[in-house]
Every structure is written in C-alpha cells, then in structure tokens.
Structure 1
Amino acid sequence: MLTNKAKYGLRAMCALQGGEGRWLQARAIAARANVPEKFLEAILVELRKAGFVESRRGHMGGHALARPAEEIMVGDLIRAIDGPLAPVRCASMTAYEPCSDCSDPEHCAVRELMRETRAALSGVLDQCSLKTLTERTQQAAWMQAVDGDAA
C-alpha cells in the first residue's frame, strides 16, 4: 500500500515539475501539493538525498528538480520514500529476506504470487515518468473543472 508519505512526495514532485525550473520554497510546494509543510520538509530531505531534488538556502533559494521530469520514474520516487515495492520481503529484489515460517522459499506459491505482483506493479510504476504523472494530474484537474462548469 502506498503510504501518505509517498503520496505527499509524489504530489510535491508534481508541484516542483509544474514550477517549470524555478526554485520553489517549501511553503509554496506545500500549498500547491496540499501537503502539511512540516511533513513535506522531511520528505524533501529524503528526495534530495536520493538525487531527485536540489535545494538552496537563502532568500532566492528553495527546491527544484535535480533532473528533467521525463527522466524521473514514479517507481524510483516511491522506492526512495517507502522502500521496496514488493508486498512482502521474500518477494523483494533489493531487500530480500526469507520468511521465518517458510520451510521451502524456492517452491512457495505465496512467494511466487507476490513476486508476480511486484513485477506487475514495478512494470507500471517504472514506465511512468514524473512528467507523465504531472500531465495526468493537470488533465484530471481540467476535466473536473469542465465537469463543474457543466453543472
């Protein structure tokens, strides 16, 4: 399940991408993304450490994308915030741990199903860039506005 932290991080990254290369202060990002500012600051630190965000101090400082939005994949953002995408550790490619109660991990049907689940999830998330996610968000907002005007 996607945590609130990851959801907020994705919304913050969309807000940064929508900032079109400008340096945005945390307060502005929080307002655009509808994220609590204090929580956002911790998320931005993690995203900076993972190489997705650049930060500068001072009056003209703020935060900006470290790479073009089309090069940032949603799956990588979620992994940076929440960790592996696998629903259980024994299905993880990067954080594998055998289940303590499993006598035969190589032939475990549950593990195999969870590996397929992880592969399907990462297949979708690793093909969606931040740019695409932001475009989808903008399109959804536009559609909502059009539907609201029709009412």
Structure 2
Amino acid sequence: MLSKKTQYAFHALVYLAENIDKGPILISEIASEKNISIKFLENILLELKNAGILGSKKGKGGGYYLLRPPKEIQLARIIRLLDGAIALLPCVSLNYYERCENCKDEAVCGLNEVMSKVRDATLKLLENKTLKDILTKER
C-alpha cells in the first residue's frame, strides 16, 4: 500500500506537471490546491529535490519545478524513494532484501515463489509507467 507521503508526492508532482509552463510553483500553492499540510509537503519536496527529480528557485518567482519531462519520471523510482521496497515481502525485494524471520528455506518456500512473481509483475508495470500516465488520466 502506498503511504500518504508517496500519495501526496504524486499529487504534488502531477500539479507541477500540469503547471509546467508557469515555471516554479510555490509550496503554498501546491499545498492549497492539493489540500496537503505545508510542513509535510516541504519535507516531501525536499526529498524529491535531493533525489534530482525537482529543482527549486529562491526569491521572487521562486518555487519548485520538474527537472525532467513527466514522461521520464518513473513511478517505481518515486515509490522506492519515499516508501522503500516495492516487494510485499522483504525476502523477495531486489533492493531491500532481508531474510524472513520465520522462513526455514527460501528455496522451497511457496510464499516466496508467489510473492516473487507478484513483485516481477508489479515492477514491470511501475517501471514502464510514468508521471505522464497519471497526468494523461487526470486531464
């Protein structure tokens, strides 16, 4: 399940994409339009900036803006950045692997096998979907 943080990030990114021609957008505008707490949104946008997804400009005419076109911002990247693993179990995660506490042998674990297939299908979809796909649906 996506965290509120990640959901808000997608809402903010979509708003920035919808208003890409306006230039930098103030946090207060995004927060107001998307009904997100300014403090919470500040932290989210800072993480996206530090990851190279957003740029920012200070002073008059300042705010946040997308560094790349929406078609180049993969949904999987945003989810991993803000929520961590996409896999439903730590033992099938590609980037955040951990052995499950109660598993005796992953090689014969039926749950591991099924969840690996779920992970693969989910990743295939999320790595091929971008911010543009969300934007297109909302227009």
Unaligned runs of 5+ in 1: 139-151
1:13 aligned to 2:19?
no
1:102 aligned to 2:103?
yes
Report the Cα distance in structure 2 between the residues aligned to 1:120 and 1:34, rounded to whole angstroms. 32
Q: Which deviations, in whole Å up to 9, do the C-alpha atoms of 1:14-33 show, x marking residues without a partner?
A: 00101124100101111232
Report the Cα distance in structure 2 between the residues aligned to 1:30 and 1:118, rounded to whole angstroms. 33
- Is 2:20–2:66's contact at 8 Å kept on the other side of the alignment? no
Comparing 89-98 with 124-133, greater Cα deviation is found at: 124-133
- TM-score, with structure 2 as normaliser: 0.93
User: How large is the RMSD of aligned CA atoms in angstroms?
Assistant: 1.2
Query: What SS does the corresponding residue of 1:55 show, helix, strand or coil?
Result: strand
- Is 2:24–2:64's contact at 8 Å kept on the other side of the alignment? yes
- The letter of the residue matching 1:46 is E
**Runs of 4 or more consecutive aligned structure 1 residues displaced over 6 Å after TM superposition:** none
Query: What SS does the corresponding residue of 2:60 show, helix, strand or coil?
Result: coil
- TM-score, with structure 1 as normaliser: 0.86
- The letter of the residue matching 1:31 is S
Q: How many residues align?
A: 138
Q: Which deviations, in whole Å up to 9, do the C-alpha atoms of 1:65-107 show, x marking residues without a partner?
A: 0111110011111111111101111110001011122110122
Report the Cα distance in structure 2 between the residues aligned to 1:128 and 1:91, rounded to whole angstroms. 21
